[in-house]
Every structure is written in C-alpha cells, then in structure tokens.
Amino acid sequence: KALATKQDTPSGNHSHPLSPEVDVAVLQRSRASIDKLRDQLKLKDREVNAKVTEIENLSDQVDRLMGINKELRKKIRISQGQVRNLIDERADFLTQLQDQQHQLSALRQRLGIAEKENEDLAQSR
C-alpha cells in the first residue's frame, strides 16, 4: 500500500517523471473523488436542512402545546373556583333547608297545640 502511494505521488527527487497519461489518470481519479465528496456533502447538507426543518416544526409544536397547556391550567383554576363556590352555596342551601324544617316542625307543633286548645274550648261551651 505504501508502495502504491509512492508510485501515485511524485517523489521529492523527481527521478521518475510522470507521463501525461498518468497525469490525466490522476486528475480523473481526483476529479471523481472530488465529485463523490461533493455529492456526499450535498446529501449531508440536505439531511442537515431536513433536521433543521424538523426541529423548527417540533419547536413550533412545543410552543403551541405550551400555550394550550397554559390555557387549560387557567380553565382548571377557574373551574376549581366555581366548584368551591358551588360547594359553599350547597352548604348554605342545606343549612337554610334544615332551618326551615325546624321552623316547619315548630309551626306544626304550635298548630297541633292550637287545634287541641280549640277543641277543648269548643267542648267546654
């Protein structure tokens, strides 16, 4: 391999001058190698651009989802406040209902006493 490399490259002492055919062959191989590297570079460039586009799209998605998440958290806080208010209102209504039931019971008791007194008065006449 080292020998092949020495034969392909001119030596420092120029003891073996290269023929024009060898120069053309070296140039053709170099050009082919450069073209291949250029194609590989273009391919890598396209891959990098595709990845950049993908990253930008994903970043946009993340931003959009973060906005949605923020709105949903806000809605949850509002809903939780409404639930707390409804629980408080329910407790107030239950307290009022209990008070009214006690008042109704007291009124029925008084009505029963009044009816009995009325009967007693009617019988005593």
Asked if residue 23 is part of any domain, the answer here is: yes
Predicted local distance difference test score (pLDDT) of residue 1: 46
Asked if residue 69 is part of any domain, the answer here is: yes
Predicted local distance difference test score (pLDDT) of residue 3: 45
Q: How many domains does the chain have?
A: 1
Check pLDDT > 80 for residue 14: no
Q: 116 or 4: whose pLDDT is higher? A: 116
Residue 26, C-beta contacts closer than 8 angstroms, at least 6 positions apart: 8, 18
Asked if residue 3 is part of any domain, the answer here is: no
Asked if residue 11 is part of any domain, the answer here is: no
Domain residues for the domain of 42 are 19-124
Predicted local distance difference test score (pLDDT) of residue 60: 98
> Predicted confidence band at 76 (pLDDT cuts at 50, 70, 90)?
very high
Closest CA to 25 of 38, 41, 8, 44: 8
Predicted local distance difference test score (pLDDT) of residue 23: 87
Q: 19 or 109: whose pLDDT is higher? A: 109
Asked if residue 41 is part of any domain, the answer here is: yes
Predicted local distance difference test score (pLDDT) of residue 2: 45
Do residues 27 and 8 lie in contact, with contact meaning Cβ atoms separated by under 8 Å?
no
Asked if residue 101 is part of any domain, the answer here is: yes
